[in-house]
Structure 1
Amino acid sequence: MSNGPAGHVERSTVRPYPETGRRGPIRTFLCTADGVPVDSVYDPGTVVYERHPYTSRTRSGDLVFVVAHGFTGDADRPHVRRVAGVLRGYGAVVTFSFRGHGRSGGRSTVGDREVLDLAAAVEWARGLGHTRVATVGFSMGGSVVLRHAALNPGTVDAVVSVSAPARWYYRGTAPMRRVHWLVTRPEGRLVGRYGLRTRIHHREWDPVPLSPVESVPRIAPAPLLIVHGDRDGYFPLDHPRMLAEAAGDHGELWVEPGMGHAEHAAEDALLGRIADWVSTRAG
């Protein structure tokens, strides 16, 4: 699915948005480095400078969360909007639809070229004036935030990967076998297109992109948080443990009791703890 060498990421052509003081939400299409229009939403958050009611820390307008959704999600899905709604209490939020998802153009490469979509969103967030940028990814998006940070050192100030795989081509659970059918079979891609609003590329990866576990050691010195549920039906606990081991001292692992998979399973209280972790470590 790749058009260039493995590990190579081109720069996007996002232009900075002019500073106009207090802004409301902005919705636009960003153009990625390979020319794909990506539907993106910016929310400036609820507070610029104020002490958070549940912590002793101060929320600041310089922090923005860039949220990378899971496979078959998009910026308008209720579970993605809920995540954004919690995070906006701690800073600004950028959500977007990966290529092939929702209103974005192109076709999904299931975690390969999606690093370009995230790169465009991160660059847009910087152009909006935010000096601290944290990426928060779920499942496929969790693997994308790891690869993006590894391939683009210095572009983000903190990385949070939730329910992500450690390695490619995993088929050890029934849900992942269904995902592979969806991606690799023509009839599966039809179900994805018409049943799940997800247009999936028919070509296989060539070359195979850098894996999440190979990406993790390259993220330092940016702080990394790995979050995984002990009831995740897609990826068992050896995946987050592999990622945490690869991260070494610059990574932190939270295994959440009773949690399932990705955005649907991430409760508001957990999202608040993630946001608080970011606010104390980013920048």
Structure 2
Amino acid sequence: MPEFRSGFASFVGRPNAGKSTLTNALVGSKVVITSSRPQTTRTVVRGIVHRPDAQLILVDTPGLHRPRTLLGERLNDLVRSTWSEVDVVAVCFPANEKVGPGDRFIVNELGKVRRTTKFAIVTKTDLVTPEVLGQHLLSVAALGEETNTVWQEIVPVSAHSGDQVALLEELLVAQLPEGPALYPDGELSDSPEEAIVAELIREAALEGVRDELPHSIAVLVEEMGLREGRSEDRPLLDIHANLYVERSSQKGIIIGHQGSRLKAVGTEARRQIEALLGTPVYLDLHVKIAKDWQRDPKQLRKLGF
């Protein structure tokens, strides 16, 4: 009888390398928010892959980057502490972008973590020709040699088309130690529901304002609970949340003309939250200003960083 395996794998890479989309493809459910703008992930969200023979826990870290703010430094510390505690670290290299200084920076940092098994994953393979993919795989192998990094595996995948995702899962599971399941069957993430809800609201808020707003949106769920006095077959989940921006001009952008933008954010976020939690939702959103919160230790603590 083959032994049960369980353990942790962390996907790392520069912002927008496809880490979150890959996590969602492996788990088969939307547990990590994905957005086409970089640096969307701020918290370490774990997705859990349940199999009859194994439990693979995916730790999704923020993209590592050269920090410009206190928030940036805290995120980078979070990444490094995660790397030393997992069984496999997999660096994601998007196939449609050349291997660059950002990748080299990450692989060099990873070199400081000795004991962890290292994978290279070439993501977004559906966006390039076989020739470009071949060149890219060679560049990734060369980067390993130049930085003295031993890649246990180099795996090309497309989370979008599903190509090689099952193979990647097999290879990751093979690296896990033998041991019992660490989470109850059926759990997809160990993030408290409030945290996942806050991330979904933040994703919806970022969607239409790509260029106007940098990463200066934080979301805090102030209250969340089932409305009292409703029958069991007609539940309604009340969620009251605040979106924090740094300046009043940003507040105007989020709210939009006569509140149209905020209304659209609420509609989209509610749709995602209902799909995830399976309950009708009443969502109450307010926009507040927290001046320069990314640089203020007190505000960062309040907002959960």
* TM-score (norm. length: structure 1): 0.37
Larger Rg: 2
Structure 1 or 2: more helix by fraction: 2
* TM-score (norm. length: structure 2): 0.34
